[in-house]
Chains A and B, each alone.
Chain A
Amino acid sequence: MPPNPPRARTALFVTCLNDALFPATGRATVTLLRRLGVEVDFPAAQSCCGQMHFNTGYREETAKLARHFVDTFADYEEIVVPSASCAGMPAEAYPLAARAAGDPGLARAVAELAPRVVELTQYLTDRLGVEEVGAYFPHRVAYHPTCHSLRATGLGDRPHRLLRAVRGLDHVDLPAAEECCGFGGTFALKNPAVSGAMNGDKARHVLETGASVLAAVDNSCLMNIGGRLTRDGHPVRTLHLAEILARTEQDGPLPGVPVAEAAR
Chain B
Amino acid sequence: MTRSFLGWPAFPEAAAREVGNRQLRENVRRATRTIRGKRAVLAAERPDWEQLRDSAAAIKDRVLAGLEEHLLRVEEKVTAAGGTVHWARDAAEANRIVTDLVRATGEREIVKVKSMLTEEIGLDAALEAAGISARETDLAAAIVQLGDDLPSHVVVPALHRNRAEIREIFAREMGRHGRPAPDGLTDDPAELAEAARLHLREKFLGAKVAVSGANFVVAETGTLVVVESEGNGRMCLTLADTLISVVGIEKTVPTWADLEVFLQLLARNATGERMAPYTSTWTGTVDGDGPRAFHLVLVDNGRTRALADPVGRQALRCIRCGACMNTCPVYERTGGHAYGSVYPGPIGAILNPLLRGPDDPQTASLPYASTLCGACNEVCPVRIRFTDVLLDLRAQVADGGKHPVERAALNTVGAVMERPALWKAAVKAAGLVGPLLPARTPLPGWTDNRALPDIPGESFRRWWKRNEGDRA
Give me the interface of A with B, judged by CB distance under 8 Å.
14, 16-24, 26-27, 30, 41-45, 47-48, 50, 52-59, 61, 64-65, 68, 96, 100, 147, 150-152, 178-180, 182-200, 223-224, 226-228, 230-231
Contact = CB atoms under 8 A, between A and B. Distances in A.
Contacts of A19: 427, 432, 459-461
Nearest to A30: B464
Given A180-B371, A230-B450, 8 more contacts: A41-B472, A61-B410, A65-B417, A68-B418, A190-B445, A197-B333, A199-B449, A227-B453
Interface string B341-367: 000000000000000000000000001
B372 interface: yes
B15 to A, nearest CB: 5
Contact of B395 (A20, A42, A64, A100): A100
A194 B410 contact: no
- Tell which of A54, A197, A228 has the most Cβ of chain B within 10 Å: A197
Majority secondary structure of chain A interface residues (helix, strand, loop or mixed): helix
A57 B333 contact: no
Given A100-B395, A184-B373, A197-B333, A53 B461 contact: no
A228 B452 CA distance: 9
Interface stretch (B186-194, B241-249, B374-382): B374-382
Contacts of A198: 329-330, 333, 371
A22 B427 CA distance: 12
A59 B448 CA distance: 30
- Tell which of A59, A65, A178, A195 has the most Cβ of chain B within 10 Å: A195
B334 interface: yes
A186 B443 CA distance: 12
Nearest to A23: B460
B47 to A, nearest CB: 21
Contact of A23 (B452, B456, B468): B456
Contacts of A55: 372, 391, 394
Interface string B438-463: 00000111101111110110111101
19 contacts: A18-B460, A19-B427, A26-B460, A30-B464, A42-B468, A44-B464, A44-B472, A52-B410, A55-B372, A57-B391, A58-B411, A150-B374, A178-B375, A180-B373, A184-B371, A189-B445, A191-B12, A191-B330, A194-B333
B16 A187 contact: no
Interface residues of B, number: 71
A96 B460 CA distance: 30
Given A180-B371, A182-B371, A183-B371, A192 B445 contact: yes
Given A23-B458, A53-B410, A193-B20, A47 B12 contact: no
Nearest to A49: B417
Contacts of A151: 373-375, 377-378
B308 interface: no
A57 to B, nearest CB: 3
B391 A21 contact: no
B37 interface: no
A21 B373 contact: no
B373 A191 contact: no
B53 interface: no
A227 B329 contact: no
Contact of A64 (B372, B414, B446): B414
B49 interface: no
A213 to B, nearest CB: 16
- Tell which of A16, A228, A230 has the most Cβ of chain B within 10 Å: A16
B453 A14 contact: no
B451 A44 contact: no
A21 B453 contact: yes
- Tell which of A14, A27, A192, A224 has the most Cβ of chain B within 10 Å: A192
- Tell which of A20, A64, A196 has the most Cβ of chain B within 10 Å: A20
B436 interface: yes
B288 interface: no
Question: Which 7 A-B residue pairs are closest in the complex by CB-CB distance?
Answer: A184-B371, A227-B450, A57-B398, A57-B394, A180-B373, A196-B449, A192-B445
B8 interface: no
B372 A43 contact: no
B340 to A, nearest CB: 14
B407 A147 contact: no
B320 interface: no
B433 A21 contact: yes
Contacts of A187: 368, 370-372
Given A16-B436, A231-B449, A43 B430 contact: no
Interface in B138-175: none
A189 B450 CA distance: 12
Interface string B7-21: 000011001100110
- Tell which of A44, A53, A57, A224 has the most Cβ of chain B within 10 Å: A57
Interface in B405-434: 406-407, 410-411, 413-414, 416-418, 420, 423-424, 427, 430, 432-433
A73 B402 CA distance: 35
A53 B449 contact: no
B297 interface: no
B195 interface: no
Interface in B3-36: 11-12, 15-16, 19-20, 25
B417 A47 contact: yes
A263 B35 CA distance: 41
Nearest to A197: B333
Nearest to A146: B373
Contacts of A57: 367, 391, 393-399
A147 B413 CA distance: 25
Contacts of B418: 47, 64-65, 68
Contacts of B465: 44
Given A47-B417, A190-B12, A180 B458 contact: no
Nearest to B378: A151
A80 B293 CA distance: 68
Contact of A184 (B333, B370, B377, B461): B370
B369 interface: yes
Contacts of A224: 450
B398 A56 contact: yes
